[in-house]
């Protein structure tokens, strides 16, 4: 890393930040029925995609936190929302004044990161924690200090972006509420252009800068990490010192310099972002009260400031048209005042350069032919796609492939494919924490590759964006789902809105990923009319947002008599691919039972056995009849495979599950200790015997396919 002179950094920073403020209402993509959400500031209305390739300022690192189990920082003693909650970040101005909290003397937590794994006392915590992060902004180039609103050069807007916060968040900047977000696994952002304060005088805020010394070819906006010691290297730091955590950008944006600023200890003169995060489980929530995974709370994914031109490319859909191997079809959505613009889409490697004009809504749909190498697990070819408007420019790495069904087969690029899969929870490898990083994604998907998988089911909620991005690069097909799990309140309107909103955010974020072939709307939900209606609404939304991918759900089998499982869930009529979870040999009889089963389906559609498995404590060896031994699990897998091989309509399998994962439902001492032990890899990262059974089964499949 090369140290860049202060003056250079300041010039860069002024260039980014100086400009007048205007409120530019976001425009909405066509076909997105946003009206359903009512007037509340729901974040998904203007979700910015492809954050990795945009100039950002990382707010990762240490955040000050106040643990607030009684929500004292939000409600007054009459249990009414208080005007002077913790979001005001008050300080006693003299020795007499009563203020009963102080962020700057409180503890810290790492962001991204769940709180449960960071402090023993938070292990089982479910409730509210307030997070606070200060960040300076440079003063105006004119040196015009004193105004209360942030001002800068024209044509720039600033958003604060959260990769995810579990479960409900209220976001404030400088004491003002920006908005709220519900749902623990999808991104959201709020525009802060009008809310950010101008910076303090230069000496005090002198950024001590460290830069990679790269120049920025997209615009002059650097990527900035705040770091209060100014050294700029990510490190585990002492309490109160924020440390920069790489947001794992891809090489393609490596031309953007990284600058670090110190930021703590100057109180209200800085901008202060305060987030109330509450992970209380709710009966009407999505998920509801009862799940089989740890309810990790907090700012679990990265937080960034995103700086964009006043009118910017907010969202786009660029994929092969349904049914075609050469026609690219999609749309682009600008956000800002200058809605009518000329736009080019370039794919240099495929000699594509197409020009379009956006309409008064800043929106354009297009279709054109291209000669492309198709993306597949064997050849995960990604193209640089460059979108340029008159005011903005953005690159993405996109693969092109088609997926459809024909009878009971899934066809990838026109050819039948068997999905050699595995389920994955967002459990960080070898740790009691939620996964959030690129490294986690690489380890988890690397293990799946080692098992000879070409497919992963990302259960039971949208995983962080590094997962589908890494899957794109590694050639791993993906099933992505929302946490409509078990006993959701089917008749509750706000529950449906919540599920729709999470589905919309998932699809908005990941719709350009070639790896993603399946959107799943539910897992093991009880059959019934209200549930069918609810799920049908989700399917309609998914299809309207993305007509190219297949829709699925993990359902349960029923039975036509002893040992005659049948797939006949009435909701099956609305999906393209039927997922079916079964636990023969674990919850249902012993492994030998598999020999007796003959499977049937009432649908002429592909079936994925989307879960099967059993628990084993890694390193515990006994005979095959001893529960929790690796040998029992191994035997169960052998029996399952024999049974599965006889199912004629089987299009894939994704056993439960790649690694042990934490769950409060699993207390058995010395065996579970709050881990669900159905992993094929232990919580220590050690492969169990059954891992190799699957590896061999998939190897055989691979050979047969060639």
Nearer CB in complex with ligand GCB: 119/559: 559
Nearer CB in complex with ligand GCB: 260/457: 457
Q: Do the Cβ atoms of 575 and 538 come closer than 8 Å?
A: no
Q: Do the Cβ atoms of 362 and 333 come closer than 8 Å?
A: yes
**Residue 423 CB, nearest approach to ligand GCB (Å):** 8
Nearer CB in complex with ligand GCB: 292/569: 292
**Residue 704 CB, nearest approach to ligand GCB (Å):** 29
Residue numbers 283-302 binding ligand GCB by CB under 6 A: 292
Nearer CB in complex with ligand GCB: 199/565: 565
Nearer CB in complex with ligand GCB: 192/555: 555
Q: Do the Cβ atoms of 256 and 4 come closer than 8 Å?
A: no
Nearer CB in complex with ligand GCB: 315/524: 524
What is the size of the binding site for ligand GCB (CB under 6 A)? 9
Residue numbers 210-269 binding ligand GCB by CB under 6 A: none
Single out the residue of 581, 601, 629, 633 in contact with ligand GCB (rule: CB under 6 A). 581
**Residue 639 CB, nearest approach to ligand GCB (Å):** 18
Residue (of 584, 588, 577) closest to 554 by Cα position? 577
Count CA atoms closer than 13 A to 294's CA, side-chain side. 30
Phi and psi at 630, nearest 5°, equal -60, -30
The DSSP secondary structure of 327-344, one letter per residue, reads: EEEEEEEEESS----EEE
Nearer CB in complex with ligand GCB: 87/455: 455
| C-alpha to C-alpha distance for 467 and 450, rounded to whole angstroms | 16
**Residue 583 CB, nearest approach to ligand GCB (Å):** 7
Interaction mask 421-440, ligand GCB, x per CB under 6 A: --------------------
Q: Do the Cβ atoms of 125 and 115 come closer than 8 Å?
A: yes
Single out the residue of 53, 678, 688, 689 in contact with ligand GCB (rule: CB under 6 A). 678
**Residue 615 CB, nearest approach to ligand GCB (Å):** 7
Single out the residue of 114, 304, 524, 569 in contact with ligand GCB (rule: CB under 6 A). 524
Residue nearest to ligand GCB as judged by C-beta position: 292
**Residue 135 CB, nearest approach to ligand GCB (Å):** 39
389-409: b or e for each residue (b if 16 or more CB lie within 10 Å)?
bebbbbbbbbbbbbbbbeebe
Nearer CB in complex with ligand GCB: 633/676: 676
**Residue 575 CB, nearest approach to ligand GCB (Å):** 17
**Residue 105 CB, nearest approach to ligand GCB (Å):** 41
Nearer CB in complex with ligand GCB: 311/523: 523
Nearer CB in complex with ligand GCB: 420/678: 678
User: What tokens does 208 get?
Assistant: 């001590």
Contacts of 149 (CB under 8 A, 6+ apart): 21, 194, 197, 198
Nearer CB in complex with ligand GCB: 211/672: 672
Element (H, E) at 493: helix 493-510
Contacts of 653 (CB under 8 A, 6+ apart): 419, 420, 421, 608, 609, 612, 644
Contacts of 574 (CB under 8 A, 6+ apart): 532, 535, 536, 539, 551
Interaction mask 360-399, ligand GCB, x per CB under 6 A: ----------------------------------------
Cα–Cα distances in Å, from 268 out to 89, 198, 202?
8, 12, 16
| C-alpha to C-alpha distance for 457 and 445, rounded to whole angstroms | 11
Q: Map 604-655 to HEC letters.
A: CCCEEEEECCCCECCCCCCCCCCCECHHHHHHHHHHHHHHHCCCCCEEEECC
Contacts of 221 (CB under 8 A, 6+ apart): 15, 16, 55, 156, 256, 307
**Residue 611 CB, nearest approach to ligand GCB (Å):** 5
Q: Map 174-212 to HEC letters.
A: CCEEEEEEECCCCCEEEECCCCCCCCCCHHHHCCCCCEC
* Binding status of residue 676 toward ligand GCB by CB under 6 A: yes
**Residue 460 CB, nearest approach to ligand GCB (Å):** 6
Q: Do the Cβ atoms of 207 and 485 come closer than 8 Å?
A: no
Single out the residue of 74, 185, 656, 675 in contact with ligand GCB (rule: CB under 6 A). 656
Residue numbers 458-477 binding ligand GCB by CB under 6 A: 460
| C-alpha to C-alpha distance for 177 and 274, rounded to whole angstroms | 9
Nearer CB in complex with ligand GCB: 505/524: 524
Single out the residue of 442, 505, 611, 660 in contact with ligand GCB (rule: CB under 6 A). 611
**Residue 581 CB, nearest approach to ligand GCB (Å):** 5
> What is the binding site for ligand GCB (CB under 6 A)?
292, 460, 523-524, 581, 611, 656, 676, 678
């Amino acid at each position: 890393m090369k140290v860049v002179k202060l003056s250079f950094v300041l010039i860069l920073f002024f260039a980014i930040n100086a400009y007048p403020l205007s409120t530019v209402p976001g425009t909405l993509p066509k076909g997105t029925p946003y009206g359903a959400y009512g007037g509340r500031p729901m974040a998904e209305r203007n979700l910015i995609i492809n954050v990795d390739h945009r100039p950002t300022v990382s707010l990762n690192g240490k955040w000050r936190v106040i643990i607030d189990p009684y929500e004292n920082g939000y409600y007054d003693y009459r249990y009414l929302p208080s005007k002077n909650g913790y979001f005001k970040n008050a300080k006693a101005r003299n020795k007499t004044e009563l203020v009963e909290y102080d962020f700057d003397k409180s503890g810290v937590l790492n962001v991204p990161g769940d709180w449960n794994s960071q402090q023993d006392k938070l292990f089982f915590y479910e409730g509210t924690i307030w997070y606070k992060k200060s960040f300076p902004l440079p003063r105006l180039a004119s040196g015009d200090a004193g105004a209360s609103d942030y001002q800068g050069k024209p044509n720039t807007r600033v958003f604060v972006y959260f990769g995810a916060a579990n479960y409900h968040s209220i976001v404030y900047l400088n004491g003002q509420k920006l908005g709220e977000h519900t749902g623990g696994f999808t991104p959201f952002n709020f525009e802060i252009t009008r809310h950010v304060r101008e910076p303090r005088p230069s000496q005090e805020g002198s950024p001590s800068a460290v830069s990679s010394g790269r120049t920025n070819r997209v615009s002059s906006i650097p990527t900035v990490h705040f770091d209060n010691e100014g050294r700029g290297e990510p490190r585990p730091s002492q309490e109160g010192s924020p440390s920069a955590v790489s947001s794992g950008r891809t090489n393609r944006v490596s031309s953007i310099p990284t600058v670090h600023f110190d930021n703590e200890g100057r109180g209200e003169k800085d901008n202060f972002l305060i987030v109330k995060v509450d992970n209380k489980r709710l009966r009407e929530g999505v998920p509801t009260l009862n799940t089989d995974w740890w309810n990790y709370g907090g700012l679990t994914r990265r937080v960034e400031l995103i700086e964009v031109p006043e009118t910017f490319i907010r969202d786009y859909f660029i994929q092969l048209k349904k049914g075609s191997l050469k026609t690219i079809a999609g749309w682009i959505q600008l956000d800002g005042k200058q809605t009518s613009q000329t736009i080019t889409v370039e794919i240099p490697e495929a000699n594509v350069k197409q020009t379009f004009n956006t309409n008064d809504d800043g929106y354009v749909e297009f279709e054109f032919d291209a000669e492309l190498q198709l993306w597949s697990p064997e050849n995960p070819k990604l193209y640089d796609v460059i979108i340029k408007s008159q005011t903005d420019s953005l690159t993405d790495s996109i693969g092109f492939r088609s997926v459809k069904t024909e009878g009971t087969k899934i066809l990838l690029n026109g050819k039948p494919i068997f999905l050699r899969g595995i389920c994955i929870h967002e459990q960080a490898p070898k740790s009691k924490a939620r996964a959030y990083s690129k490294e986690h994604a690489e380890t988890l998907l690397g293990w799946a590759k080692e098992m000879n998988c070409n497919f992963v089911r990302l259960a039971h909620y949208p995983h962080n964006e590094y997962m589908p991005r890494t899957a794109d690069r590694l050639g791993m097909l993906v099933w992505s789902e929302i946490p409509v799990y078990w006993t959701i309140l089917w008749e509750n309107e706000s529950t449906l809105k919540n599920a729709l909103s999470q589905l919309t955010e998932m699809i908005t974020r990941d719709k350009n990923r070639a790896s993603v072939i399946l959107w799943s709307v539910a897992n093991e939900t009880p059959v019934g009319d209200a549930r069918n209606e609810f799920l049908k609404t989700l399917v309609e939304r998914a299809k309207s947002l993305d007509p190219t991918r297949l829709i699925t759900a993990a359902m349960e089998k029923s039975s036509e008599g002893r040992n005659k499982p049948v797939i006949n869930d009435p909701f099956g009529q609305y999906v393209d691919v039927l997922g079916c979870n079964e636990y023969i040999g674990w919850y249902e009889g012993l492994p030998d039972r598999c020999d007796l089963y003959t499977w049937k389906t009432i649908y002429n559609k592909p079936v994925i056995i989307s879960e099967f498995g059993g628990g084993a404590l890694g390193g515990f060896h006994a005979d095959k009849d001893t529960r929790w031994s690796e040998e029992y699990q191994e035997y169960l897998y052998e029996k399952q495979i024999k049974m599965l091989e006889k199912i004629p309509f089987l299009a894939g399998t994704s056993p439960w599950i790649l690694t042990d994962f934490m769950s409060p439902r699993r207390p058995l001492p010395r065996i579970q200790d709050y881990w669900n032990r159905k992993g094929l890899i232990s919580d220590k990262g050690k492969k169990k015997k059954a891992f190799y059974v699957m590896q061999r089964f998939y190897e055989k499949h691979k050979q047969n396919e060639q």
